[in-house]
Structure 1
Amino acid sequence: MRRVRGPSIRVRPVAEAPAVDLHDVPVDAYRDSLYAPGDLYDAEPYAASLDARAFLWAREQRTPRATLAQALHDHAIDQALASWVSGRHLVGVMGGHDVDRASASYADAARLGWMLGQHAVVTTGGGPGAMEAANLGGLLAAGSRDELASAVASLAGVPSYRPSVDQWAAKARAVTQSAADHGVEPQDSLGIPTWFYGEEPPNLFASAIAKYFRNAIRESILLQVCDAGIVFLPGLGGTVQEIFQDACENFYAAPGNVAPMVLVGRTYWSETLPAWPLLQALAKGRPMADHIHLVATVEDAAELMRRRGSPSPR
């Protein structure tokens, strides 16, 4: 046997890994369940809440111990999310975080969430804007269209989380309570936000929240869990990223594992931000070509997803 010369290596006896000191970490790095809105909004004003404290800590603490704690937390969220999604079919709704509660776009997203929520669990990035609206629709899917419209009209009184997250959150709580008072049974609705975008507060209409520190992991998980497909509303950088990240998964997927992609807004996705022509070119000759769609309205999108039937494993 030929011997290779090199530095000697001292083999140390195997020992237990040292315990990680997490006494000053604001989150439970070993939690065994997803967050509920009340877990993140556990104190008032919002600046005193767990959500705000975790964002501040993550932004200021860059030590190896802090990043290890974040990795442990995100791993725990992975495990809790895997358990939560078991037995459920999830449909994704992606769209802009700046959509105003008083806008027609918000009402469209809420109506889309309501329609999709009739047969699947509405899943979003968990933030404000179109994400909040879709989670609202999913949460109130057992109610009537009129009850949803009433909720949207009430929310318009506090159109944005700027300048006050507290007023924005209080209005959301009031709307949820009003729906319960009228006998609307809340449905499952999932949000997957990130402290990477900590300036955007998580919405309170996701009944379960898988919040991550690492955005790259969060984006990947968000797309992967949507076994019933994803609807993409008009949005900007984040939404475009999600379109082509999802397209990449479908491009390389086995034929039976391709999930539907539905872009809403013919002019928007063909001219304003022409993602559709590129998506078509990418899909040409691939199994995914039959699973990408461009539609005019949220009603078209919901009907298309309803007709697609059983979801594909991802």
Structure 2
Amino acid sequence: MSHVWPYLPARAVNITSLAEFDRLAAEALNTSSARGRGWRVHRVDLRERDAVLPALDLSEALFIDCQFSPKGRELIERTGGLCMDSGHHLPFRTSDRGLYTPQELYDGIRAETYDKVLDAQIYAYSQHRNPGRSLDDADAMATTLHDHHIGQALIAEIYDGAFKDTPIIGVMGGHAMDRGTEQYAQALRLGAMLTRSGYAVATGGGPGAMEAANAGAWLADYDQKDVATALSMLAAEPDAIHHRTGWARLALAVKDRFPSSHKSLGVPTWFYGHEPPNLFATHIAKFFTNSIREATLLEQSNGGIIVLPGAAGTVQEIFQDACENYYATGARVVPLVLVGEEHWTKTLPAWQLLKALAAQRVMEDKIALVDSVEEAVAFLGTVQPLRRRTRIPGQ
């Protein structure tokens, strides 16, 4: 087991000296893509590296407690990196609490840059440890307690709070789906259709398809002209990784112009903290531990799961849910719909394996491959929603 779990991904590239940085940068620059994606650079003096930084693709990279020239931060952030100061206090509560709201995680974003808001501060906290040091018991306890209380708050909202009267539909899809694309518009339309049909939308809480579905829930009462205006506004800042501040501010501008009373759920994680949470999910259950987050999102999607085109993470979600359905009794099987015949039969042929897995099982009649979000919603309408487990009084 990695001695830095759960703070750093096991395959993260952790750089703790200038010599390491120079060696890895030289290797990257010898490739066609100059990839520095996902690097974690800890306490390295980069004041003399202004000539190298803009030549690297630093998407998803994190620079923690590093030193920069006057232009160094700008050079890094222009190519997709994030510069953070770790701080020396807990930026989150370890006691009983409710779910996060966009206002809490992004407090100050109208005037400050993203790296100053609470979401970024907690991410920096989770990532700043020297990867050669043993796991700190106090920090491990703090993050464990945090995730416990967020999980309890989520269950309370589902059984007794904002989502107690509506089946929850999980919408899965890739974070790389940019605003301004037809795919984004379709995902937004899906969120709106589900909301108008009486479902609650739940997503992984990040950008891309996840943001689009939550945005659709938010805009469910608006006509096509207003939705087109909102989409046009959002398209001015399409990239959540390279332009986090502008991306977040435009979401706020859309929410200001088109107020809404609709609620939806986002379940993101600081494990993928380079992907900022979207601001259209009204209730945010953000976890440190991704495995808890993934299992929780799929388990609580009691009305069904719709899977939009995505990559490795989305494929993982398909078969994580399929495994649950494979072994479930008839009353516990949740419908699973894949959207995009070309994508799921040729680009990433998950449908063939899913169909073979479901053969002669109860789940066989509760899976579908469709080519439009309208067909996906229609299929869900043919399946009886799963009833939630009965709660024991007083618990």
Question: What TM-score do you get using the length of structure 2 for normalisation?
Answer: 0.71
Q: Is the 8 A contact 1:188 1:207 kept in 2?
A: yes
Write out aligned runs for 1:270-289 (5 A): 270-289=345-364
Once the two structures are TM-superposed, the CA of residue 158 in structure 1 deviates from its matched residue by 1.0
| Aligned equivalents of 2:348, 2:157: Cα separation in 1 | 35
Larger deviation: 34-43 or 195-204? 34-43
Q: Does 1:52 align with 2:117?
A: no
Report the counterpart of residue 89 of structure 1 in structure 2.
Answer: 167
Q: Which residue of 1 aligns with 2:106?
A: 41
C-alpha displacement at 1:303, in angstroms? 1.7
Identity %: 48
Deviations 1:43-86 (A, max 9, x none): 32110111111111111244221111000000000110001111
Match of 1:166 in 2: 245
User: Is 1:75 aligned to 2:148, yes or no?
Assistant: yes
Q: Distance in 1 between matches of 2:385 and 2:298?
A: 17
Q: Which amino acid aligns with 2:101?
A: A
2:187 is aligned to 109
Give yes or no for contact 1:232–1:263 (8 Å, CA) kept in 2.
Answer: yes
Give the structure with the higher percent helix. 1
Q: CA deviation at 1:312?
A: 4.4
Which residue of the partner structure matches residue 330 of structure 2? 255
Deviation of residue 309 (structure 1)? 4.6
How far apart, CA to CA, are the structure 2 residues paired with 1:108 and 1:31?
38
- Asked whether 1:307 is paired with 2:382, we answer yes
- What is the rounded CA distance, in whole Å, between the counterparts of 1:92 and 1:190 in structure 2? 9
8 Å Cα contact 1:257/1:313 also seen in 2: no
Instruction: Please state whether the residue corresponding to 2:94 is helix, strand or coil.
Output: coil
Q: Which segments of structure 1 move beyond 4 Å, counting only runs of 4 or more?
A: none
Give 1:162 deviation, angstroms.
3.6
Aligned partner of 2:123: which letter? F
Deviation at 1:209, TM superposition (A): 0.2
The answer on whether the counterparts of 1:140 and 1:186 sit within 8 Å (CA) in structure 2 is: no
Q: Would you say how many aligned residue pairs link Structure 1 and Structure 2? A: 288
Aligned alpha-carbon RMSD (Å): 1.4
CA 1:60 to 1:210, structure 2 compared with 1: closer, same or farther past 3 Å?
same
Unpaired stretches in structure 2, ≥5 consecutive residues: 1-87, 130-134, 390-395
Q: Name the SS of the counterpart of 1:308 in structure 2.
A: coil
1:156 and 2:230 aligned: no
Residue ranges of structure 1 left out of the alignment (5+ in a row): 1-22
Relative distance call for 1:149 and 1:307 in structure 2 (3 A) is farther
Give the structure 2 partner of residue 64 of structure 1. Answer: 137
Residue 231 of structure 1 and its aligned partner are, at CA, apart by: 0.2
Moved more, 225-234 or 55-64: 55-64
Look up the SS of the partner of 1:117 in the other structure.
helix
Deviations 1:137-191 (A, max 9, x none): 01222333332232112111111124221100010000011112xxxx3301100
Question: Counterparts of 1:75 and 1:148 in 2: how far apart (Å)?
Answer: 37
Counterpart in the other structure of 2:254: 175
Amino acid at match of 1:128: P
- Residue in structure 2 matched with residue 4 of structure 1 by the alignment: none
1:206 counterpart SS class: coil
Letter of the structure 2 residue corresponding to residue 66 of structure 1: D
Alpha-carbon contact 1:141-1:186 (below 8 Å) kept: no
> When the two structures are superposed, what TM-score results if normalisation uses the length of structure 1?
0.89
